[in-house]
């Protein structure tokens, strides 16, 4: 039933799919650009169509009573974002506790333009020992694409160069293209400041 609903929703929107789902049980699905609330619903529909249950992170305070049950059924994972709890370790533990987990993370962390991506997606994948699978929703061409799989290494700059190469021609893919900022992490710039001249 979900697959039929997803097919109908995507048909109405004129969406097509491109790329193959990697045969892996655990991945961090990098979802960029993220410029609209519609991204969630389109991604969910593609997941239903492909037989993928995309999970996502939400504040622990949202997951109470009947609402918490509904959010968990929709793939929500409650996380405590207080300073004394490591978000990366919490999510890495969720990966270790499950046999299958496809966690969708919009690395920009907001729908508005930002100068840096949040590095959590990268550190979660490294801590959990799972790959990053790059993807995008191309609103201009109405294509939901699953891109390359990248296993993060100790070379943050090198890994980010590979990620930048994939998103280089996706500048205008978002629903609101002017909201998609540069593909970079703040720690890349910080490392430049630490390197001797």
The DSSP bridge partners found for residue 150 are 132
Residue 27 has what DSSP assignment? E
Indicate the range of 12-21, 73-82, 171-180 predicted with least confidence.
73-82
Residue 160 has what DSSP assignment? H
Range 92-109 average pLDDT: 92
Q: How do the domains of the chain map onto residue ranges? A: 2-55+103-112+122-148+158-194
Specify the pLDDT at position 84. 57
CA 44 to chain centre: 12
Specify the pLDDT at position 157. 92
Helices 87-97 and 120-128: angle between axes, nearest 10 degrees? 40
**Nearest Cα to 14, choosing from 142, 184, 120?**
142
Length of the chain: 197
* 17-52 pLDDT tens trace: 999 888 999 999 999 999 998 998 999 999 999 888
- Give the pLDDT band (50/70/90) at residue 162: very high
Specify the pLDDT at position 71. 86
Indicate the range of 36-50, 73-87, 91-105, 183-197 predicted with least confidence.
183-197
Range 115-140 average pLDDT: 93
Tell me the C-alpha distance between 116 and 182, whole Å: 7
Judge whether residue 72 has pLDDT over 70. Answer: yes
Specify the pLDDT at position 167. 95
Find out whether the peptide bond into 41 is cis, omega within 30 degrees of 0: no
Do the Cβ atoms of 56 and 158 come closer than 8 Å?
A: no
For the chain, the 3-state helix, strand and coil shares in percent, each to the nearest 5, are 40, 20, 40
Specify the pLDDT at position 29. 95
Mean pLDDT of the chain: 88
**C-alpha distances out from residue 77 to 58, 136, 143, Å:** 6, 22, 27
Give the E-state strand segments of 128-194 in sequence order. 132-138, 143-150
CB-based contacts of 184, cutoff 8 Å, min separation 6: 115, 116, 117, 160, 164
- Give the pLDDT band (50/70/90) at residue 83: low
Indicate the range of 21-25, 32-36, 56-60, 119-123 predicted with least confidence.
56-60
* 139-158 pLDDT tens trace: 999 999 999 999 999 899 99
Specify the pLDDT at position 96. 93
Looking up tokens 């892996």 gives: 24
């Amino acid at each position: 039933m979900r697959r039929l609903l997803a097919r109908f929703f995507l048909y109405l929107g004129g969406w097509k799919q491109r790329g193959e789902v990697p045969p892996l049980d655990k991945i961090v699905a990098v979802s960029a650009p993220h410029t609209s609330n519609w991204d969630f619903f389109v991604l969910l529909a593609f997941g239903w169509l492909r037989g993928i249950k995309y999970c996502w992170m939400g504040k622990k305070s949202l997951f109470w009573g009947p609402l918490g049950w509904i959010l968990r059924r929709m793939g929500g994972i409650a996380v405590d974002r207080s300073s004394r709890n490591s978000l990366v370790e919490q999510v890495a533990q969720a990966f270790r506790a499950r046999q299958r987990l496809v966690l969708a993370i919009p690395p920009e962390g907001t729908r508005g333009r930002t100068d840096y991506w949040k590095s959590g997606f990268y550190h979660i994948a490294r801590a959990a020992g799972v790959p990053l699978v790059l993807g995008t929703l191309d609103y201009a061409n109405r294509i939901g694409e699953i891109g390359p799989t990248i296993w993060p290494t100790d070379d943050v700059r090198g890994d980010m160069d590979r990620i930048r190469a994939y998103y280089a021609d996706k500048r205008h893919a978002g629903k609101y293209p002017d909201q998609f900022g540069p593909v970079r992490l703040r720690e890349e710039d910080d490392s430049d400041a630490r390197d001797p001249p």
